[in-house]
Amino acid sequence: MIHDPAAFGKKVFFLNPPSVIGEVLAALSDAEFEVYTASDHLKLARYLRVNPTCIVFVNIDAGTDELAWRKWISTLKESPTCKTLRFGVVSMQSDDERRNAYLMGMGVECGFVILKQTTARTTEILLKTLEANEARGRRKFVRAHCPEGSAEFNCKGDLSILRGPIMDISSAGMMVTFAEGAAPPPGAKLKDMQLSLKSGRVILDGVVLGKQEDTGESNRLIMFAPSSLDTEKRLKLRTFIRKSLQASIDQALIYV
């Protein structure tokens, strides 16, 4: 079977996003899109040539030469390795000449978004754009790898305290390693699990689904009980996920 990276969703980059778009980016992340920001277009270009299954929204107001952004986008679109790469434009200025240049002249696929509109309207436009470009792929939830020491869990078991590191996490569940090696069986219910994340502590319930292939015997996938999640807890989970993902891409761009 051919591996299709897009099946797992597309990374969505905002290059030099203005501060006014902060709430919009949070809303896109909350809608389970994998959203990143970047400020170095040269490093981002090198990354995209190796990882082209992405969508990039370019803030063409950044810098003093808007024509330089046209050249940057055109160069990447013409690259043989970037056939799956898609672009959009964001700007505070409504300009028909610029809009036509990007949409009609250059074939920018993901629109020309004017940021002077309300946050709600901008969010609506970008959500529809990402949906139309299948940015989620077939997955329902964005998962983030948890670097060593960044996330742990503990809860009361039948005979002892169960604890260990969280390997990766989404807003729906997590993969963990049980520190003592005595992992509960599939179907076991875990009450009042305490997750220690950099975004704060989260207490919720879960159920053990079992271990995934090619993982250790003490590793288990745990799904969160929806009834134990509320708005505040989801916010803490998604904040941690968003920051973890951004930290990983910042690291990748250093060494690209």
Q: Which residue has the tokens 């970037």?
A: 82
pLDDT digit string, tens, across residues 109-121: 999 999 988 999 9
One-letter-per-residue 3-state SS of 12-54: EEEECCCHHHHHHHHHHHHCCCCEEEECCHHHHHHHHHHCCCE
- 114 and 21 Cβ atoms separated by less than 8 Å: no
Whether the predicted model's global pTM rises above the 0.85 cut: yes
| Whether 88 contacts 113, CB under 8 Å | yes
Which band of pLDDT confidence, cut at 50, 70 and 90, is reported for residue 6? low
For residue 213, what pLDDT is reported?
56
Could you give the angle at the alpha carbon of 197 between the alpha carbons of 153 and 170, nearest 5°?
80
Residue with the two structure tokens 């139309």: 132
Does residue 175 contact residue 220 with C-beta atoms inside 8 Å? yes
Q: Which pLDDT tens digit goes with each residue over 137-157?
A: 999 999 999 988 999 999 998
The dihedral of CA 227, 228, 234, 240: what is its sign? negative
Bridge-partner residues for 203, per DSSP?
Answer: 194
| Structural tokens at position 23 | 């709430």
* pLDDT for position 160: 84
β-strand partners of 190: 206
pLDDT, residue 159, reads 76
CA distance 195 to 173: 11
Higher pLDDT among residues 214 and 64, named by residue: 64
Helix ranges (DSSP H) in the chain: 22-30, 41-50, 66-77, 96-100, 119-132, 231-255
Amino acid present at 60 = I
Phi/psi region, residue 63 (left: phi>0; alpha: psi -120 to 50; beta: rest), is left
**Cβ burial, residue 143 (10 Å; 0-12/13-18/19+):** buried
DSSP three-state, residue 63: coil
Yes or no: is domain 5-140 CATH 3.40.50.2300? yes
Distance CA 172, CA 234 (A): 9
How do residues 119-131 score in pLDDT, each as one tens digit?
Answer: 999 999 999 999 9
Residue that the structure tokens 């790469």 belong to: 85
What is the rounded distance in angstroms from the CA atom of residue 163 to the CA atom of residue 41? 42
The domains of the chain are located at 5-140, 144-245
Q: What's the pLDDT at 109?
A: 96
Phi, psi (degrees; rounded to nearest 5) at 36: -135, 160
Q: What integer pLDDT is reported at residue 196 of this predicted model?
A: 97
Q: By percentage, how much of the chain surpasses pLDDT 90?
A: 83
Answer whether CATH 2.40.10.220 is correct for domain 144-245: yes
Over range 172-188, report the average pLDDT.
Answer: 88
pLDDT band at 1 (very low <50, low <70, confident <90, very high): very low
5-140 and 144-245: identical CATH topology: no
- Cα angle 164-165-166, degrees, rounded to a multiple of 5: 125
